[in-house]
Amino acid sequence: MLYYIEQDSNTFNQYNEVMSVALVTNEQVIKALRNYNPWWRNPSAAKEEDRPQHRVAYHETLRIMQHKTIRRFAVLSGARRVGKTTILYQIINHLIDNGVNPRNIFYATFDNPVLKMAGVDMVLSAYDSMYPVEGVRYVFFDEIQYTENWELWMKVIYDSRKDIRLAATGSASPIIEDASTDSGTGRWTVIKIPTLSFYEYCQLLQLDDMPLLPDHLKITDIPKMENAEVADLMARFEPLVKHFNRYLTIGGFLELALSDDDLYAQRMLREDVVDKVIKRDVLTLFKVRSPLLMEKLFLYLCIFSKVLICRYSLLLQAFPAFFIVEDTLKSSYIPVCFCVQK
């Protein structure tokens, strides 16, 4: 039966619809959507998830969604915990503050098992059936890579629903980028969100001991300075050393940077970011034969993070039991979910 389903795309689509109806009801989907969209009942609820600090990706996403002449969707791509969802909530709060009807704003995360099983079509249909709203609808999909054929559904939405402005997030770099080069061309823009830079980290914490620097100073001027000038410059940065050491410890993640418990923050970094990527995301998105070897490979890269690894064949020699070709190692496992950069 599975072979027949794979051969006939129409039958496969019908099979998916039957399974969705059997496993998830429309009432369950609506209940989940009400929980994720509290501003439908209380417009000020969006402020609870808002942050006063706005990153560059926030302004870029908002510009894309509200552009008057060029219609594009925005896809925010980045590692877990870098603040992708926070940016969505900031945009939602901005829209409500600027007079957009809260019921014209729709948020759904496919990290939720009910919405994941329902799929994009059922989730969007449930929203359409809830409120008879008019005008532009602002749709926000979180962790879009967990729903099947997400890029095809976004293409359909873009082509058939001119009333929708959409922003989505994804934590799997190769999946997001590969799909965007095909279906996403001319339809959505991928915005990469890195972890906090040290400057953003300092601005986020509103540090009082930020050094006062000359307005005309450029980084290219430093090699041309006299020794005394360089020493004076280093002395100004001295109060930031302790903050820089902490920044390296917690990895530049927004939520962890605001924590007052560094040990607990490190634990959350390991459990929420590394463990979920290695033991969940990679296993879900790729056919990994040995999860234990995958974890050992990641630890190997962490240990030798100070060394520039120029040849992936060295990794294959270190892990002969990892039966995958070199191209697969380079293009899929290594850079997935932004744990390791090429």
The per-residue pLDDT for range 159-172, each reduced to its tens digit, is 999 999 999 998 76
Strand order in the sheet with 188-193: 105-109, 137-142, 164-170, 73-78, 188-193
Range picked from 1-15, 181-195, 276-290, 321-335 for highest mean pLDDT: 181-195
In degrees rounded to 5, what are phi and psi of residue 214? Answer: -60, 140
Model confidence at 95, pLDDT cuts 50, 70, 90, reads: very high
The mean pLDDT value for 324-341 works out to 45
Measured distance CA(164)–CA(141) in Å, rounded = 12
Report which of residues 341 and 253 the model is more confident about: 253
Q: Are 196 and 257 in contact (CB under 8 A)?
A: yes
- Non-local CB neighbours of 90 within 8 Å, separated by 6+ positions: 50, 51, 54, 58
Residue 1 has a pLDDT of 36
The mean pLDDT value for 187-196 works out to 88
Model confidence at 316, pLDDT cuts 50, 70, 90, reads: low
Residue 92 has a pLDDT of 95
Q: Which two tokens stand for residue 19?
A: 């399974």
Model confidence at 205, pLDDT cuts 50, 70, 90, reads: confident
Measured distance CA(276)–CA(298) in Å, rounded = 13
- Look-up: residue for tokens 């990994």? 288
Residue 56 has pLDDT above 80, yes or no: yes
Residue 221 has pLDDT above 90, yes or no: no
Length of the chain (residues): 342
How many alpha carbons lie under 13 Å from residue 113 in its C-beta half-sphere?
1
For strands 188-193 and 73-78, give the pairing. parallel
Residue 99 has a pLDDT of 93
Measured distance CA(312)–CA(327) in Å, rounded = 9
Report which of residues 272 and 45 the model is more confident about: 45
Range picked from 23-27, 163-167, 196-200, 309-313 for highest mean pLDDT: 163-167
Measured distance CA(11)–CA(241) in Å, rounded = 62
For residue 197, how far is the Cα from the chain centroid?
Answer: 16
Residue 342 has pLDDT above 90, yes or no: no
> Range with the lowest mean pLDDT among 59-63, 176-180, 190-194, 261-265?
176-180
Residue 9 has pLDDT above 70, yes or no: no
Q: First vs last Cα of the chain: how many Å apart?
A: 41
Measured distance CA(342)–CA(334) in Å, rounded = 8
Mean pLDDT of the chain: 79
Residue 327 has pLDDT above 70, yes or no: no
List, in sequence order, every beta strand (DSSP E) within the chain. 73-78, 105-109, 137-142, 164-170, 188-193
Nearest to 33 by CA among 94, 112, 92: 112
Range picked from 21-25, 104-108, 131-135, 260-264 for highest mean pLDDT: 104-108
Residue 325 has a pLDDT of 41
